[in-house]
Structure 1
């Protein structure tokens, strides 16, 4: 699961907001899909740039994550590296593309856990739920040490 960072939480919420407000969305387009829209927010590249970088190597986001090399100078690896620096893990890219991370899905009522990976509304709901989960984790990291300090003072 991603490292809870303010940057990642903000990017997830902003990406969801952008999608809700009509940002271009096309699941089969590397720059306009689930990961592509989040990549736009994290890297400030546009969807066409992201797509062009991804097409320099084969595969979708799942395969790009599998083939990622931290020392490569390929544009897609540099882009993924930026996403990882924001707190994401390679597995998160795979889960985001399929909307299937169990921790995120557990936040939905049982009857609403079967999200369609290529439906804009489901992507928005997933990103918002993920942001809430990460925000709770971040707050826990902040408040537990503070509570410990108070208890030992």
Structure 2
């Protein structure tokens, strides 16, 4: 699971909120797809910038993640490196693009789990919301100095105030 931290959690929340409000979503666009939308929040680049940088190499997100080299100097590799620094793994990013991470899917009830479509904005939002809940719970568990009541209620306003 990603290294849960307040910045990562905030990026998930912002991504979900923007998508719900109609942010551009296009699965075949490197800056407006599943990974692209989250990357916009985590590395503060526009969808156009992400897409332009991604086009300096060949392949979609999954192929570029397979070919990731932190020392290549390619803009896409630099972006991927930033996403990793923020707490995500290469494998999680690959799964995000296809909505296929077993750890996240295990928290989605059947039959919905088997009906997720990688290029459906509503399924992406649902997947991100499920992942966000896991990240929030992980963060709460690793920060035991919080009160028991806050942990049980999982109230983000209290946790991240």
Unaligned ranges ≥5, structure 2: 149-161
Q: 2:113 and 2:2 mapped to 1: Cα distance?
A: 20
1:60 equivalent to 2:67? Answer no
Q: 1:26 and 1:77 mapped to 2: Cα distance?
A: 21
Q: How far apart are residue 60 of structure 1 and its match?
A: 0.8
Q: How does 1:93-132 map to 2 (within 5 A)?
A: 93-114=93-114, 115-132=116-133
Q: How does 1:37-56 map to 2 (within 5 A)?
A: 37-56=37-56
TM-score under structure 2 length normalisation: 0.87
Q: How does 1:73-84 map to 2 (within 5 A)?
A: 73-84=73-84
1:139 equivalent to 2:140? Answer yes
Q: 2:104 and 2:128 mapped to 1: Cα distance?
A: 9
Match of 2:70 in 1: 70
Match of 2:14 in 1: 14
Unaligned ranges ≥5, structure 1: 148-153
| Higher RCO structure (Cα 8 Å, ≥6 apart) | 1
The superposition leaves residues 68-99 of structure 1 with CA deviations (integer Å, 9 ceiling, x where unpaired) of 11112111111111111110000011000000
Q: How far apart are residue 103 of structure 1 and its match?
A: 1.2
Match of 1:90 in 2: 90
Moved over 2 A (4+): none
